[in-house]
Structure 1
């Protein structure tokens, strides 16, 4: 469906060139009864130039988008949406299996974008606070911001044809000057994907608001859309979101001097190579080859088969009987094991049924991505902290802490690491003594559910006491830790409160931290005090 250097043709409903539906090809125009003579062509920038000459490539894109906006042609989101619908209608008539493939690809596209947003959140909370991204970005020179934005645009769009084509869907949000001139614009994009509640991993996408897209959403919802129209709208929306997210992620990491993540894309040729390697298929499928669904479960398949591919008719694979007899849909497996695994995780939802958008959306929003295209690896989340009480409003940073604790249930608190030590296990506070752990969890629960200042101070002191141990070798200092608590709880006086708790500890005859005042003195002296020799807490 996506082409590398696609030309668009525009025509009004009367057949004359000008504002109206955008057609991808002369064939699509003829199919709709339009005459292509005199239609206006819009030449897209070549994807190959994105990395060869990023400045020239970007200038071409922005010139084209400006011409589309001001040149008398309708290139609004609604026009793109209607053109996609026309494409799908044409494909359904001529090549039904291609539309079926797009239905099948949608859950993977959705889950991949969701996983990307979660990765951005993890980076923002890990590195953004420690390095003060907002302040540095706003203070940076325009030329510096421009350099990082151009890098992100070119790398992202060069990675895949559909991302390159999606640039047309966000002409303002990804305009180079717009993002470079005023740093608040990029900060606004970043904040748009940060949910207010992060007590668990996000399970749905957050989209970027824009008046034109809001208007398209309202139009789409009121138009009683067909399955194809639902597919066209949602696919455009998710592609636009994915492109902006990739750009945000690359700019963020590039600007902070972190490694820039490679964008992993499963291209059709990758599937072909897998088939060549594992099934001995020739590079060019022999006559009679057919496009089939390879339903093998990607987690266990010994041949690594998943997605769509051209399979010679003579190649022996197991076929799903119901899909073939009821829908004439080819779903094949290399083994019984893969077929059983796919049935449990996915295939029972769609087996023998016509593929429609509701099924695709159900699979996309499932907590366990189920289609055998590209399965996103989700971290298991177990709630360990109760809901907020008495009107306490948790900060985004505190919700992130709760989310991390739910993913790493053996940890008692997660200390925000420096970029150089992000995977250092010493950043996870783990009390080895069961009674220490139990008593810390009591004060932690109160602090994280009520925001009670004394409970927060006791917990902060316990953590500072922990990192002040003589045998603690992690990178976190009491100053870094206090700053983290200050941000999580909006508690500006946290250092003073911790020092007050230290005074209370000193006055205790047994020198117990405040959260351990209930511990039996004998047990404290015999089991905890010898192991936890600490230096006095001193803030800079």
Structure 2
């Protein structure tokens, strides 16, 4: 990965675009960048890039890694709890009745939401070739559902004590051709688990028509007929069954940075948008800074364009 390539990478890890056409161009550049990572001789640049944002103090690095490990496990546990067989069946049926354009839009929105407000996720994505639009949409979306199934099947015996990791042939080949310490290999796999779990969750939200501003760590409580314009109303019963199973053990997250309520520290609470609360929506922020950024730069839309509106309005 050359200096020019790194400059391209820096540009695509800025705030993701919000329109379909811009997202297509943006994602095409991402796909080219990810492909270059797996070419011979790229590992030094990638490691330098990944290390640039990490403090040199070893204790700080250890703390960051420990925090990330807890976060990945919490994220995956939330997915596992919510993705009951009924819920997954409903998602599959929603996907089946969607048009090719609707599916592509959902995937692009999920990718953008996974990267919004968190530049570190861009470095994680470099090593996730299965996270591209082309890969996720291949074979009618089979790779996306394979990722979802891998999380759900692997984690039924809760609580998780270690994150669910994902295997990929290109990544295995990459590791075989490059000398990395065991700690670096472990870090790479955890980064992959982190980003792929995020992208699965965000695409699920997009499939079910959920606004990115309604981020509680559980699937949206919407009728299937509200989720997709051409959805089969007969499938709504599946969602009613699933929804009843989703009413406990919720944990809320900041809509901007995805920080969990449990991560705020003792005595701190999420800040709730009052206008959206009046419209029946739960829009939460961990800080005034996240609220300020989301107001002007929210994904898929700035919050100033959706504030106070009911879901789907």
1:237 — aligned with what?
189
Q: Are 2:26 and 1:60 equivalent residues in the alignment?
A: yes
Question: In 1, Cα distance between the equivalents of 2:198 and 2:51?
Answer: 30
Deviation at 1:213, TM superposition (A): 1.5
- What secondary structure sits across from 1:154 in the alignment? helix
Q: Are 2:166 and 1:211 equivalent residues in the alignment?
A: no
Higher relative contact order (CA 8 A, sep 6+): 2
Q: Are 2:132 and 1:175 equivalent residues in the alignment?
A: yes
Deviation at 1:112, TM superposition (A): 0.6
- What secondary structure sits across from 2:157 in the alignment? coil
1:107-150 per-position Cα deviation (integer Å, ceiling 9, x unaligned): 11111111111111112117515x62223323422111112111
- What secondary structure sits across from 1:160 in the alignment? coil
1:352-386 per-position Cα deviation (integer Å, ceiling 9, x unaligned): xxxxxxxxxxxxxxxxxxxxxxxxxxxxxxxxxxx
1:110 — aligned with what?
69
Deviation at 1:48, TM superposition (A): 4.0
1:43 — aligned with what?
8
Any conservation in 2 of the 1:159–1:263 contact (CA below 8 Å)? no
Question: In 1, Cα distance between the equivalents of 2:77 and 2:26?
Answer: 32
Question: In 2, Cα distance between the equivalents of 1:176 and 1:48?
Answer: 18
Question: In 2, Cα distance between the equivalents of 1:152 and 1:53?
Answer: 13
- What secondary structure sits across from 2:37 in the alignment? coil
2:203 — aligned with what?
251
Any conservation in 2 of the 1:127–1:419 contact (CA below 8 Å)? no
Question: In 2, Cα distance between the equivalents of 1:133 and 1:200?
Answer: 22
1:191 — aligned with what?
149
Question: In 2, Cα distance between the equivalents of 1:102 and 1:242?
Answer: 17
1:411 — aligned with what?
none
Return closer, same or farther for 1:241/1:140 CA change in 2, 3 Å cut-off. same
Q: Are 2:240 and 1:422 equivalent residues in the alignment?
A: no
1:1-37 per-position Cα deviation (integer Å, ceiling 9, x unaligned): xxxxxxx636xxxxxxxxxxxxxxxxxxxxxxxxxxx
Give the RMSD, CA atoms, in angstroms. 3.8
Return closer, same or farther for 1:142/1:61 CA change in 2, 3 Å cut-off. closer
Higher strand share: 1
5+ residue gaps, structure 2, are 218-239, 250-313
Any conservation in 2 of the 1:149–1:251 contact (CA below 8 Å)? yes
2:159 — aligned with what?
201
1:340 — aligned with what?
none
Any conservation in 1 of the 2:91–2:208 contact (CA below 8 Å)? yes
1:463 — aligned with what?
none
- What secondary structure sits across from 2:164 in the alignment? coil
Deviation at 1:247, TM superposition (A): 1.3
1:354-433 to 2 correspondence within 5 Å?
417-419=241-243, 422-423=246-247
1:145 — aligned with what?
103
Question: In 1, Cα distance between the equivalents of 2:51 and 2:119?
Answer: 22
Any conservation in 2 of the 1:146–1:180 contact (CA below 8 Å)? yes
Return closer, same or farther for 1:203/1:243 CA change in 2, 3 Å cut-off. same
Question: In 2, Cα distance between the equivalents of 1:190 and 1:253?
Answer: 13
Any conservation in 1 of the 2:79–2:201 contact (CA below 8 Å)? yes
Question: In 1, Cα distance between the equivalents of 2:216 and 2:42?
Answer: 25
Any conservation in 1 of the 2:31–2:132 contact (CA below 8 Å)? no
Match of 1:9 among 2, 12, 18: 2
Return closer, same or farther for 1:203/1:55 CA change in 2, 3 Å cut-off. farther
Deviation at 1:232, TM superposition (A): 3.2
1:21-72 per-position Cα deviation (integer Å, ceiling 9, x unaligned): xxxxxxxxxxxxxxxxxx8664123444414446424523423542674xxx
Question: In 1, Cα distance between the equivalents of 2:87 and 2:40?
Answer: 36
Match of 2:37 among 49, 60, 75: 75
Question: In 1, Cα distance between the equivalents of 2:50 and 2:204?
Answer: 36
Question: In 2, Cα distance between the equivalents of 1:57 and 1:202?
Answer: 35
Return closer, same or farther for 1:134/1:151 CA change in 2, 3 Å cut-off. same
Q: Are 2:85 and 1:119 equivalent residues in the alignment?
A: no
- What secondary structure sits across from 2:197 in the alignment? helix
Question: In 2, Cα distance between the equivalents of 1:50 and 1:194?
Answer: 29
TM-score, structure 2 normalization: 0.58
1:443-454 to 2 correspondence within 5 Å?
none
- What secondary structure sits across from 2:84 in the alignment? helix
Any conservation in 1 of the 2:50–2:123 contact (CA below 8 Å)? no
User: Between Structure 1 and Structure 2, how many residues are aligned?
Assistant: 224
Return closer, same or farther for 1:235/1:80 CA change in 2, 3 Å cut-off. farther
TM-score, structure 1 normalization: 0.36
